[in-house]
């Protein structure tokens, strides 16, 4: 992969993922095709209910005519009974239809949310590491939660408004024209005037909501980060600092929500004002027609009732735009994530790795996470099948980066990485990764049982194999002393275990995988001398028939590696066996001497190196 192509991939995701801009039409088409169409039957049922509910409204208005004419003016006894019964019947049927459309519509809306969440999650989980490094967790959470619900809201209210409200209004308008077309015409000259301000409010709404959602994402990130790192917050006495940071964001969110509320609320007085004008005109003009004897009072009251009944659906049609804009902005963000493509993709003709001992070769590998700052500046390195090779060197030298390139978490900028003579880019990711067991620097346990954590990656593993792996990792004893043994829940990210216990579970997990290639990144750094010795013994046995790459700061643990590569600033500066490296006065012998300070008096420069070293150890 070239530097430019990685850069352009990065360009297409700004932090809120909104750079791939889709037009409104494209968004709607995509939503309807992908998420609404599968539920067209249920939707059909909802629409049927909406038609019934919509039809009940003009019927009610129309009944005002016999109420006035037959009951009040003609004093007809039969109609006095019939009309109220009819009104009751219509309202019951209309109510039932409303219930039906509401349940069915919400079902469709919630299905849309569920489908979006499912698709977004399974898409996200397949994206490469680089994507997760550039996108804050909080934003991703916001896309799957609040954005998904905004889309549902928009889809439900748009469909309801477009069908039920629009139909209700059309029928009511038709009735008004039927009752008194001249009066109806006058009323409806007022309404188109509402269109312009309402649409401009909608545009403003969309802008505010986009900014707000971005802030919601940052807020979620801040919360996750602070609560997860609460120990550090307390240790450094940063509670007030964090409160201030959170308060600032909360106030910003408050202001944004208020702005959105004001914008949304502005449609109400606008509609009320217009409604008032319409009502005034109807009473004045309609009243004068009745007084002049040009029209019936019954017709007037039917029209007037229709006008009052039209108010609510017209209002929700007017608000439709804002809900729609919110939903479209959310869809924009979710689709931007769904459109993300991994940089790490399998070739069309990718082959399965054919394992032959698991030999690893780096050919002049150059790599950088960020352009212009190379993490590896031309590494050539060979680990023969079955060998154990150690990578040592100061912090930030690029050791973990080497391990990242073997399972192809990232692609090299130039050169190549081969496993058993096969370029990792020519292989299927699953075959490559199933040949590798990795214990990384930052152990990741899941909030599940010890047993599930060890068998992660091999969920069907036999309990005896799990126990054997735990034994080799010197973990069996502490696990059996946990309250529920192998069924003990480890807490979020393994919080209920000590650092060393977490590490041993991670080692057991890697051992259970029984892969030909074992990558250990500071795998025993958090262990006490005793358990480290136990784990080392187990590892020595395991290393025998597999290729192992070990990273260790404690050089004593890598003394008997077949070969040691000494890294500094992304380059190999020395290589050889422990004895060979000690015999040359280089970085390795200096680092080694520092770890046995009793024997060698350090110089000032060495002391400061040692401090660096101590800091990096503390960081691990
Ligand atoms: N995801 C990342 N994005 C950008 N830069 C990174 C990333 N990961 C590592 N780096 C940079 O790459 C360089 C090499 O990092 P690497 O993790 O390989 O060091 P290391 O030798 O494993 O150090 P340590 O001993 O502290 O674990 C460092 O300068 C680091 O800042
Ligand atoms: Mg590292």
Domain spans, the chain: 7-338, 360-435+515-619, 449-508
What residue ranges line ligand 1, CB within 6 angstroms? 133, 369-370, 375, 395-401, 441, 616
**Phi, psi (deg, nearest 5) at residue 184:** -60, -40
- C-alpha dihedral sign at 500, 504, 507, 509: negative
Q: Provide the percentage of residues in the chain whose pLDDT is more than 90.
A: 46
Kindly report the protein residue whose alpha carbon is nearest to atom 17 of ligand 1.
400
Question: Helices 297-338 & 24-31, crossing angle to 10 degrees?
Answer: 90
State the closest ligand 1 atom to the C-alpha of 398, by its place in the atom list counted from 1. 18
Cβ-contact 296, 290 below 8 angstroms: yes
The pLDDT assigned to 605 comes to 54
Does 348 have pLDDT greater than 80?
Answer: yes
Query: At residue 494, does pLDDT exceed 80?
Result: yes
Find out if CATH 3.40.50.300 is the number for domain 360-435+515-619.
yes
Q: What is the pLDDT of residue 607?
A: 52
pLDDT digits (tens, 9 = 90+) for 178-224: 988 988 888 877 666 666 677 677 778 778 887 888 888 889 889 98
Give the CA radius of gyration of the chain.
35
Contact 342, 126 (CB under 8 A): yes
Q: Which of 7, 401, 526 to mutate to test the pocket of ligand 1 (most atoms within 8 A of CB)?
A: 401
Q: What is the pLDDT of residues 528-587, one digit of tens each?
A: 787 787 777 777 777 778 899 999 888 878 888 899 999 999 999 999 998 898 888 888
Residue-wise pLDDT tens digits, 398-427: 999 999 999 999 999 999 999 999 999 999
pLDDT of residue 193: 67
Yes or no: say if 441 and 522 are a contact pair by the CB < 8 Å rule.
yes
Instruction: Output the CA 552–ligand 2 centroid distance in Å.
Output: 9
Q: Atom 18 of ligand 1 has which residue's CA nearest to it? A: 398
- Residue range 357-369: mean pLDDT, rounded: 94
**So what's the architecture of 7-338 in CATH?**
Up-down Bundle (1.20)
pLDDT tens for residues 32-62? 999 999 999 999 999 999 999 999 999 999 9
Cα separation of 17 and 271, whole Å? Answer: 36
* 606 membership: H or E segment, kind and range: helix 604-619
Q: What is the pLDDT of residues 477-488, one digit of tens each?
A: 999 999 999 999
- How does strand 517-521 pair with strand 436-439? parallel
Query: Structure tokens of 426?
Result: 């020519």
3-state secondary structure of 411: coil
């Amino acid at each position: 992969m070239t530097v430019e192509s990685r850069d352009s991939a990065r360009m297409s995701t700004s932090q809120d993922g909104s750079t791939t801009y889709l037009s409104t039409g494209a968004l709607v088409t995509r939503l309807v095709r992908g998420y609404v169409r599968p539920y067209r039957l249920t939707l059909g049922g909802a629409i049927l209910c909406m038609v019934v509910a919509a039809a009940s409204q003009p019927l009610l208005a129309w009944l005002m005519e016999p109420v006035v004419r037959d009951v009040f003016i003609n004093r007809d006894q039969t109609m006095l009974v019939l009309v109220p019964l009819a009104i009751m019947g219509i309202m019951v049927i209309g109510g039932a239809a409303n219930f039906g459309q509401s349940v069915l519509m919400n079902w469709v809306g919630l299905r849309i949310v569920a489908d979006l969440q499912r698709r977004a999650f399974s898409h996200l989980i397949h994206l490469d590491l680089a994507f997760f490094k550039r996108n804050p967790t909080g934003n991703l959470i916001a896309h799957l939660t609040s954005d998904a619900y905004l889309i549902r809201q928009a889809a439900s209210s748009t469909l309801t408004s477009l069908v039920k409200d629009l139909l209700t209004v059309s029928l009511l308008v038709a009735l008004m024209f039927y009752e008194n077309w001249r009066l109806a015409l006058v009323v409806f000259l007022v309404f188109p005037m509402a269109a312009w301000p309402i649409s401009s409010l909608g545009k403003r709404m969309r802008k505010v909501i986009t900014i707000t959602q971005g802030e919601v994402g940052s807020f979620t990130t801040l919360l996750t980060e602070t609560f997860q790192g609460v120990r550090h917050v307390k240790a450094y006495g940063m509670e007030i600092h964090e409160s201030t940071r959170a308060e600032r964001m909360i106030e910003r969110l408050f202001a944004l929500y208020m702005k959105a509320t004001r914008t949304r609320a502005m449609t109400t007085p606008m509609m009320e004002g217009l409604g008032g004008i319409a009502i005034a005109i109807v009473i004045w003009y309609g009243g004068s027609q009745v007084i002049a004897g040009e029209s019936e009072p019954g017709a007037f009251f039917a029209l007037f009732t229709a006008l009052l009944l039209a108010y609510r659906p017209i209002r929700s049609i007017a608000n439709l735009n804002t809900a729609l804009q919110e939903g479209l902005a959310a869809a924009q963000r979710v689709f931007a994530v769904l459109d993300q493509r991994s940089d790490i993709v399998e070739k069309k003709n990718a082959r399965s790795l054919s394992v032959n001992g698991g030999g690893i070769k780096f050919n002049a590998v150059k790599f950088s996470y960020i352009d212009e700052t190379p993490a590896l500046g031309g590494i050539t390195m060979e680990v023969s099948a079955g060998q154990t090779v150690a990578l040592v060197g100061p912090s930030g030298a690029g050791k973990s980066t080497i391990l990242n390139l073997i399972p192809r978490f990232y692609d090299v900028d130039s050169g190549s990485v081969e496993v058993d003579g096969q370029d990792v880019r020519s292989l299927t990711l699953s075959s490559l990764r199933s040949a590798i067991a990795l214990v990384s620097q930052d152990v990741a346990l899941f909030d599940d049982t010890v047993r599930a954590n060890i068998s992660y990656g091999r969920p069907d593993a036999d309990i005896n194999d799990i126990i054997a792996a735990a034994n080799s990792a010197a973990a069996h004893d502490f696990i059996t002393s946990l309250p529920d043994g192998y069924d003990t829940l480890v807490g979020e990210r393994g919080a209920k275990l000590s650092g060393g216990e977490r590490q041993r579970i991670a080692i057991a997990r890697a051992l259970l995988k029984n892969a030909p290639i074992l990558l250990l990144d500071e795998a025993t750094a958090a262990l006490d001398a005793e358990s480290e010795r136990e784990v080392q013994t187990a590892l020595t046995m395991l290393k025998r028939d597999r290729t192992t790459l070990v990273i260790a700061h404690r050089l004593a643990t890598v003394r008997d590696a077949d070969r040691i590569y000494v890294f500094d600033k992304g380059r190999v500066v020395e290589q050889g066996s422990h004895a060979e490296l000690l015999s040359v006065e280089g970085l390795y012998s200096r680092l080694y001497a520092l770890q046995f300070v009793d024997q060698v008096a350090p110089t000032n420069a060495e002391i400061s190196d040692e401090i660096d070293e101590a800091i990096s150890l503390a960081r691990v």
